[in-house]
């Protein structure tokens, strides 16, 4: 079994971005969206008009400064390769999201990075019709086009609007 990464968040987090599971490249680079071809970090630095950095501490700083939590819906998997289709068929353990949600944080929106993350999140018992229920609070869940370089439907403007919209 491969393990995913620890979540990045603090009590001020307002948006939770959920991926599916780290790719082989990400696991080799030991951090989220570690494949240089993935558009996630360039998109996020652009959304906040920040100078792009490949340094992990700068990425964490960007997330926390902008009240964004980052995690994956799968915490462990015997995934071979990086394909989401393979992930769906793998042996996997869903991540515990409770520490990242109210009352522990101020998360008011969940954004899934791609259909696989959304599909897996929808299997959680707390998922109800495009909302995730945490501590009695219904948090809206958005499914955005994956930032993977393999996804021709990626839309940076859609991501920017979803992140900045109150």
> pLDDT, tens digit, for every residue of 56-114?
999 999 999 999 999 999 998 886 765 566 666 667 889 999 999 999 999 999 999 99
Whether the pTM exceeds 0.85: the reply is yes
- Domain ranges in the chain? 2-164
What CATH fold (topology level) applies to the domain 2-164? Uracil-DNA Glycosylase, subunit E (3.40.470)
Calculate the alpha carbon distances from 126 to 55, 56, 97, 99 in Å.
35, 31, 10, 14
For 32-67, how does the pLDDT look when each residue is reduced to its tens digit (9 = 90+)? 999 999 999 999 999 999 999 999 999 999 999 999
Q: Which residue has the higher pLDDT, 92 or 164?
A: 164
């Amino acid at each position: 079994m491969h393990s995913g990464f620890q979540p990045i968040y603090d009590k001020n987090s307002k948006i939770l971005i959920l991926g599916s599971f780290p790719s082989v490249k990400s696991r080799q680079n030991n951090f989220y969206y570690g494949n240089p071809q993935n558009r996630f970090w360039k998109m996020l630095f652009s959304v906040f008009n920040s100078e792009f950095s490949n340094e992990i501490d700068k990425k964490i700083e960007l997330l926390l400064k902008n009240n964004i939590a980052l995690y994956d819906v799968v915490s462990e998997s015997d995934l071979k390769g990086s394909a989401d289709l393979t992930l769906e068929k793998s042996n996997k353990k869903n991540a515990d999201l409770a520490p990242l949600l109210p009352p522990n944080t101020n998360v008011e929106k969940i954004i899934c990075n791609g259909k696989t993350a959304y599909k897996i999140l929808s299997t959680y018992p707390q998922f109800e019709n495009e909302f995730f229920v945490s501590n009695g609070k219904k948090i809206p869940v958005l499914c955005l086009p994956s930032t993977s370089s393999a996804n021709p439907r990626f839309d940076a403007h859609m991501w920017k609007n979803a992140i900045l919209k109150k």
